[in-house]
Structure 1
Amino acid sequence: MAPTATRSPWPRVGAIVLLLTALLSVIMIAFAWPATRSSVHDIPIAVAGPSAATAQVAQQLSAKRPGTFDVTVVDGTAAAERLILDREVYGAIDVSSGHPQLIIASAASPAVAQALQQVAQALGGTDAGVPVRDLVPLPADDPRGAGLAAGALPLVLGGIAAAGVLTSLVVGVARRLAGALAFAVTGALALVAILQFWLGSVEGSYWLNSGAVALGIAATALTILGLESLLGAAGLGLGAASMMLLGNPLSGLSSAPEMLPSGWGTLGQFLPPGAAGSLLRSTAFFDGHAAAPHVWVLLGWAALGLVLAGLAAARTARRPAAAEPAAEAVPATVAV
């Protein structure tokens, strides 16, 4: 008679239920907290015009919206536009002509552009409000930027999935790393083709956009593979959880880093999802301006993954070498 399968003890079942509850709570906090606590703070904007007029506008902004804006004063419209195109500010209130107008770049962040319009209308003091000029608009096929915002999750999942599948199906660290790099290229070409040619959500050079996405996928996948090589399944879980529960909600791709809870938006830009999203905005709409910091962040994560994988390989190589002297010390058995 076959033995009866041993049943799990009830305390173990209870512990697993509590663990799953804690995990679900962490997921809810990771995704809902940044969204519900989002607010406009420290948004970089320019105020352009004569010193007396710009000082008055800056004072109004400080009085009516304290802590909301980080104001840079410039002497004219051209200087303000240059700051916007270089991605140093999100928009500008221009009083050069004596009548205020608002210059925005909705491609930098539709949420910030909307917030700036609300503030400008209040500053106008009339029902007609302030004229608005969109210097870098979103594509006509996706005027709300929904496709780019939605692309944040596939970008993260692509790197996580690559690491998980390669770990399960490919033997050899070097082959896994090569597979991750190859997938980063092919996956980026496919993802950007969908965003750019089908959905019309991004513009600019297809190849530069694909390079930005490939770098983001590679940074995520290589980091997770490096952690898995060094720590095993725990490293795989740690890397995937960090990218999904921290990197994705803190990327700011659906709004802006400055609209996340204070400090967390900055942290998000030092993680692969946030850096990749900001890099894609730069290549798609701003001719690559302000791309360098994000490129360095992604290269840093990719290099970290390679270093971790190298450490794991070196540790594995030392083990047989350490075992050989012990094997030699055992005297040979003489057959009788």
Structure 2
Amino acid sequence: MTVQTVRDRYENAGETSETATKMRVGTPWSRIAGMVLGVAALLFVVATAFSWPALNSGPHQVPVAVVAPEPVVEQIGGQVAQGLGEDALDLQPVADRAAAEAAIADREVYGAIVLGPDGGEMLTASAASPAIAQLLGQLASSVPAQVGGPLPVTDLAPLPAGDPRGAGLASAVLPLVIAGIVSGAASGLAVRGRGRQLSTLGLLAVAAALVLTSVSQLWLGALEGSFWVNAGVLALGVASVGAVALGLVSRLGLPGVGLTALVMVLLGSPFSGAATGPEMVPVGWGTFGQLLPPGATGTALRSVSWFDGAAWPALLVLVCWLVVGLVLFALPTRRAAAASQ
């Protein structure tokens, strides 16, 4: 037996002994404690993000048009303040019923109180927000008789018969976010070549939009309007989330997927206002939710499905997120920078 053979056996025996020692010792308790605290903190954030907005939802500065003399408007405003709170509705006087209808169609207001010598009427738009339409219906029944109440309710933009509560559109937000995250992650982690990654993201966004639109509109009947316009909005929504995921994956690798999910799922979904309207989300958070792709997609989809449009602000938000993701993706990675030197 040579000296080298003896040395090799000694070293191997040492490595085996060290491995056995590690197996006996196991994972340090400090690391286990850190994992437990991390999971607990994550669950706390998840529970808070989804429960707090639901438990604290209510009307905050909901824009409503009013066709009535100024003293009557003030009287109605005082009644609303007593029943719903001072900041519940934002009453906006308009000239006549035609102006009120135009404001609803342009999504400037959620409804209108119309009072005149021939009687009164409450105009609502369930497609804009079923929760706010129900709130205005209750308000119509409580308008005092001396000013023309109780008011009959006319729904100018009713929800489809297949989805009278508007659950279909609200439930499409989370699948849209998941589709965007999966599309961006798959393009960045499973495809090589920047051109192929972008092409894959685009194809996945279109495929996801067609599937979501087919389920929501053709099968469930939860959407109206043009199938292709709705699909285009959904494709832009998926692409905006996917581009951010792809850009962060190119920067951070796999942790970029988690960061995208943190922003889009834990913040974007609960504060989107897709089910009730951003004015029903706690003050400030509804506006914040409209600056993220889930909320912007829901608003744009409502606008193109039931109203004259007014989708450009929401579409602009989606385009901005798409550009942000593409800019992150276009920046040279550390590996590329090192290779070029």
Whether TM exceeds 0.5 here: the answer is: yes
Q: Kindly provide the CA deviation profile for residues 288-311 of structure 1, in whole angstroms up to 9, marking residues without a partner as x.
A: x21000111100000011101111
Determine which of 138, 146, 171 is the counterpart of 1:118. 138
Any idea what SS the aligned residue of 2:244 has? helix
Deviation (angstroms), 1:97:
3.9
The CA distance in 1 between the partners of 2:90 and 2:323, in whole Å, is 34
Match of residue 10 from structure 1: 29
In structure 2, the residue matched to 1:28 is: 47
Query: Match for residue 9 of structure 2?
Result: none
Q: Which amino acid aligns with 1:41?
A: H
In structure 2, the residue matched to 1:173 is 194
| C-alpha distance after superposition, 1:106-129 (max 9, x if no partner) | 000001111111222222459x83
Q: Gaps (5+ residues) in structure 2?
A: 1-12
The 5 Å alignment of 1:101-112 reads 101-112=121-132
1:307 has 2:336 as partner: no
Q: State the shift of 1:318 in Å.
A: 2.9
C-alpha distance in 1 between matches for 2:277 and 2:211: 25
How far has the Cα of 1:241 moved from its partner? 1.0
Cα distance between partner residues in 2 of 1:151 and 1:159: 12
- Which runs of structure 2 are paired with 1:215-226 in the superposition (5 Å)? 215-226=236-247
SS of the residue 1:100 aligns to? strand
1:58-88 deviations in whole A, cap 9, x for unaligned?
A: 3433454311111110121111011001100
Q: Distance in 2 between matches of 1:257 and 1:183?
A: 29
SS, match of residue 263 in structure 2? helix
Q: Which amino acid aligns with 1:304?
A: V
Unpaired segments ≥5 residues, structure 1: 323-336
Alignment of 1:1-336 (within 5 A): 3-4=19-20, 6=23, 7-64=26-83, 65-124=85-144, 129-287=150-308, 289-313=309-333, 315-322=334-341
- Deviation string, structure 1 residues 226-263 (Cα, Å, up to 9, x no partner): 11112223322211211010011111001110111100
CA distance in 1, matches of 2:144, 2:208: 47
| 1:142-167 Cα distance to aligned partner (Å, 9 max, x none) | 11111111111111111011122223
Offset of 1:174 from its aligned partner? 2.9
Contact 1:156/1:244 (8 A) holds in 2: yes
SS of structure 2 residue aligned to 1:121: helix
**Contact kept? 2:185, 2:249, Cα under 8 Å:** no
Q: Which of these two proteins has the greater Rg computed from alpha carbons?
A: 2
Measured in 2, the distance between the counterparts of 1:23 and 1:62 equals: 39
How many residue pairs get aligned? The number is 319
The CA distance in 1 between the partners of 2:293 and 2:242, in whole Å, is 10
Structure 2 SS opposite 1:268: helix
Percent identity at matched positions? 45
Paired AA for residue 136 in structure 1? A
Cα distance in structure 1, aligned partners of 2:70 and 2:95: 7
